Amino acid sequence: MPTTMELSPEQSGRARDENEATLVGGCDPLICPDATLVSAAPTLVILSDDGFGRVISVDRAHVIIGRSPRADVVVSDPEISRRHVMLKGSADGLICQDLGSTNGTFVNGERISRTILREGDVVRAGATIIKCTHAG
């Protein structure tokens, strides 16, 4: 399952994973909400109601987003297919690929079948909005 950020390893008392996001500046995100997260793995954040603020780290070969309980990132948006979109790291960057969804996948307002995401790109799948915060 992709990594979601809640507490730093120092805060939770566990060991740090090499692909895990780390906070720049050493400030607790609850105290400094404008602090910046940096990760070795590409990261995205959900900006819509279903999962608002959830950080997705693409720290494996690929990550599937959809309604299915078998998806890596499960969202309850009824406009999303069971297996809607795949995120995958490559030598060219972070690939975003629609998996034949009924309602399509859009990046920066344009319907895509497959594209490379850049930092700041906004992905829409159904009513779910996801922003690429670190393309890797």
pLDDT in tens, 19-45: 444 343 444 444 445 444 555 788 999
Exposure letters 110-131 (e unless 16+ CB within 10 A, then b): eebeebebeeebebbbbebbbe
Distance, in Å, from the CA atom of 131 to the CA atom of 118, rounded to the nearest integer, reads 10
- Return the residue matching tokens 């920066």: 108
pLDDT band at 9 (very low <50, low <70, confident <90, very high): very low
pLDDT tens, 98-114?
999 999 999 999 999 99
DSSP 43: E
pTM of the predicted model over 0.75: no
Token reading at 121: 């790109």
